[in-house]
Structure 1
């Protein structure tokens, strides 16, 4: 049996509104960290800019390939629970278009792509 707590589907920017109030995983390019480090912009695999709200100020500059795990709020922003900022060499060789195609396939064929961990 799966519970919502463990399900963090990978989504792109155009899918945000379908996941309001839910946990998600979004991959994109981090940019435009605000001056006090409480938010940044993530340019998603489908070229949409979304605001990521930090629960604590960042202690590093977020740029390049970044994966964000968090909850989608009513304004289609993500309240970040954690993030991974990948090294430049990973960012430089990552195929964002191919990743976006994979997101589309996972969404259309969700019964074949399980996101989450079975409850023990």
Structure 2
């Protein structure tokens, strides 16, 4: 099946900040809240659902302000660094009742159990 334009056929692991170091060089998806944006637009910091502070580096300068809860898809580059391929910002009305602890528990569980659908 051909992927629609802009979507990747790469399998990405959904992780939290503590799991980033275990996925170096791999494609990942991580959720956090924007805490700081570099004025040059080439990076920003997020606080992940497990309270880890990560730097998200951009391939091109940001074209819009990034704030609030954000999902980042990219490549793990270090214990606290991610190269961003794409991101999704969630509006405050969607995230107002978001339970970070419960989400973090789910991510931890997903990464504890082997994936029966993973190609061997």
* TM-score class normalised by the smaller sequence: 0.7 to 0.9
Task: Count residues with an aligned counterpart.
Answer: 111
The residue that corresponds to 1:88 in the other structure is 92
| 2:100 is the alignment partner of 1:79 | no
Q: Which has the higher helix share?
A: 1
Describe the SS at the equivalent of 2:38.
coil
Q: Residue 20 of structure 1 contacts residue 73 of structure 1 at CA under 8 Å; is this kept in 2?
A: yes
Tell me: CA distance 1:49–1:111, structure 2 relative to 1, closer, same or farther (3 Å): same
The answer to whether the aligner puts 1:18 opposite 2:19 as a matched pair is no
Per-residue deviation, 1:75: 5.4
Distance in 2, Cα, partners of 1:107 & 1:74: 18
Task: Name the counterpart of 1:51.
Answer: 55
Report the CA distance between 1:110 and its aligned residue.
2.8
Instruction: Report SS of the residue matched to 1:46.
Output: coil
Q: How far did residue 111 of structure 1 move?
A: 2.5
More strand per residue: 2
Aligned runs of 1:1-120 on 2, under 5 Å?
6-74=10-78, 76-112=80-116, 114=117
- The structure showing larger relative contact order (alpha-carbon pairs under 8 Å, at least 6 residues apart) is 1
